[in-house]
Chains A and B, each alone.
Chain A
Amino acid sequence: MASPIIFTVCSINQLANAIVLGDSLKIQNSDYHFQIGLVDKQSNIPTNIQSPYPIIEVNLLNIKGFGEMSERYTHEELVANCKPFFTEYFLQKTEKLIFIDCTSVIFQSISFVSDILDQSNIILTPQLLFANVHPDEKQILNSGIYHAGFIGLKKSDETLKFLKWWGKNTSTKGFKDLCKGLNTDQLWLEHVPAMYDGVYILKEAGVNIGYWNQPERNITQLKLASKLYSINYRDGQFPKEYIEKLKKYSHKKLSKIKPTFGIEDSNKPTLAKTIAMKIRTLNNIVDLIIDKFFS
């Protein structure tokens, strides 16, 4: 049997992150093959940068409607929405597959994931595990019960059925629009335990720790108990030691390379927009005053 593959998906601007993830895996998961799905043109990688891990360019997948996806989605949305297609691609090469966000770092062997896959088709990782600990549970609920940054998959008819459905939704309805129940590839996962058989909900506090669940996870304690498996720095502050590792692979230089596919995010908060929003919040005091004294 082919060894399990662990893969990530990114554009060139996060290639250094992906390589650091690969390095962290190699230390205690040497039986895995690590591969990088690239939503970008491989030829745009500066020639002096060599990835120690195989890179699969998105064009190789021949995703149906990729051209439209590229014109419709922001760079970030597009990377997320290509995930089901890379998953399908890698499942042709292996029986067991793990997707990990490129902003993650692995701290010890995750072979237990592979063991769980003996009995299951799909492994999902919840964002939160403990009731009433996170100070604002509804914001997490809004973005998804499950986090799309750590997913396990076994090659099976059921998994392939899931991937067809997931890919259909990410290629047509992969926007980030929480008011409409859309959050790229992630919110679709809500349906998975109800729609597919053999779905395992991984309740392991040491897996995929990120800003969204930090209030309920104690990294020091997990480390002491040898239960710290992975931290995901996505959308959060990069700590010093992580930045040091990124430096080795020209992160600064790579992060400035504009992705070939996808569009600019017009909703990205700019300084001007943030100030305008603050002024409007301040202005709403008028309502409070009127409600208090005149009603």
Chain B
Amino acid sequence: MFAPHFMTLVFTLCSVNYLAQAHTLGDSLREQNPDFEYVIGLVDKLETKEIDKSKLPDYQLLEIDKINISDFAGMCERYNITELNTAVKPYYFDYFLKNRPDITNIIYFDPDIIIFDKLTHLIENLTENNIVVTPHMTTPYNDDKWQREEDIINTGIFNFGFVAIKRSTEAQKMIIWWCDKLKNECIIDLCNGLFVDQHWAEFFPVYFDKVFIDKHLGNNVAYWNLHERLCSFVNNRWVINGNIPLHFFHYSGYLIAKPNEVSKYQNRINFEERADIVPLFELYRNQLLAKNELYWKNFRCDYIKPKKAQRLVRVRKYTKLPLEKLASFIEKL
């Protein structure tokens, strides 16, 4: 049974240019789950920008430089903006675990998600488990479109647009380990097994106890699993495959500037063949516009670094030439 005295905190992470998304997520959460606290973790600075305060969403904003990450300067130096945005995820969990003793459950959602239902099912799973993750898909693709089954293997079976933990020794152990990994190795380097925060999390079920792989078809519905999930609007609510309640939809890779594309990261699902999802995306587009997407999207994040240009390219090439020639010669022996 759902125990209402357990406090639940939900957070997301974004920069100022994604505040329309975070706002939309917050409103959908509040509508369905008013008893959950919501925090927007901001990987950005507010005071450096001239912001029309009346447009700010009415939610707690927690800037990244306020959560005491031990080597934050080093991480900013090492990481580009995508890497930094994903690397700080466990650090926010850590912050909430340490600073909010009143909170039992902590749930992370990517900002480009809408909650469609009460998250009772999820909270029930957390009473039995320490960590809940959602897989990208629960059945094979049976085609060779992008992304393929091996692409998912390369980047992570579980999608980390969602993860939930219950305050427990095991979850704490997980967060400490995840922070440790993401301090230096939250990069995209597929040949060496690295894909930001997500691929590391493949270890969760083997390293930690009571990690629940939640295969409910209403969770984390997105382009990566629409091949097995048909959406419809029945009796005033969205359902999957006719009778499974839609819990949350993930609009990963959808751009308001390209309203005819489901996602920039794939070519399996399109609106022509999937009329069922068109209203879900229309709904999202309208929500974003109402939350001032066109205003927010132009703000530049303070943590974007200028691209490093390699200097003295020719000098490098000619200095290396003799040894490179030797290497090619030996290789052919």
- Interface residues of chain A, those whose CB is within 8 Å of chain B, are 126, 128-132, 137-143, 145-146, 165, 169, 173, 178-182, 187-188, 190-191, 193-195, 201, 203, 272-273, 275-277, 279-280, 282-283, 286-287, 290, 294-295
Contact = CB atoms under 8 A, between A and B. Distances in A.
A201 B193 contact: no
Contacts of A129: 206-207
A277 B327 CA distance: 7
B331 A272 contact: yes
A279 B327 contact: yes
Contacts of B206: 126, 128-129, 145-146, 201, 203
A258 B181 CA distance: 43
B205 to A, nearest CB: 6
B191 interface: yes
Contacts of A276: 327-328, 330-331
Nearest to B200: A141
Nearest to A182: B150
Contacts of B307: none
B192 to A, nearest CB: 6
B193 A190 contact: no
A8 B82 CA distance: 44
B245 interface: no
Which 7 residue pairs of A and B lie closest in terms of their CB atoms, listed nearest first? A142-B193, A181-B154, A194-B135, A181-B150, A126-B206, A179-B191, A276-B331
B152 A191 contact: yes
Interface secondary structure of B, over-half rule: helix
B35 interface: no
B153 A283 contact: no
Given A178-B193, A282-B323, A141 B202 contact: yes
A73 to B, nearest CB: 16
A199 to B, nearest CB: 9
Contacts of A169: 149
Contacts of A146: 206
Contacts of B136: 194
Interface in B202-240: 202-203, 205-208, 213, 215
Interface of B: 135-140, 149-155, 157-158, 173-174, 177, 180-181, 185, 190-194, 199-200, 202-203, 205-208, 213, 215, 311-312, 315-316, 319-320, 323-324, 326-328, 330-333
Contacts of B213: 193-194
Given A181-B190, A290-B315, A294-B312, A273 B331 contact: yes
B311 A290 contact: yes
Contacts of A290: 311-312, 315-316
A104 B109 CA distance: 44
A195 B190 contact: no
Contacts of B207: 128-131
B308 to A, nearest CB: 9
Given A195-B139, A279-B326, A283-B323, A138 B157 contact: no
A138 B192 contact: yes
A272 B327 CA distance: 9
Given A181-B150, A191-B149, A195-B139, A137 B203 contact: yes
A282 B327 CA distance: 11
A187 B311 contact: no
Contacts of B320: 283, 286
12 contacts: A129-B207, A131-B203, A142-B193, A145-B202, A180-B154, A181-B155, A187-B150, A190-B153, A194-B137, A201-B206, A280-B323, A282-B323
A276 B327 CA distance: 4
Given A137-B181, A195-B137, A179 B190 contact: yes
B190 A279 contact: no
A145 B203 contact: yes
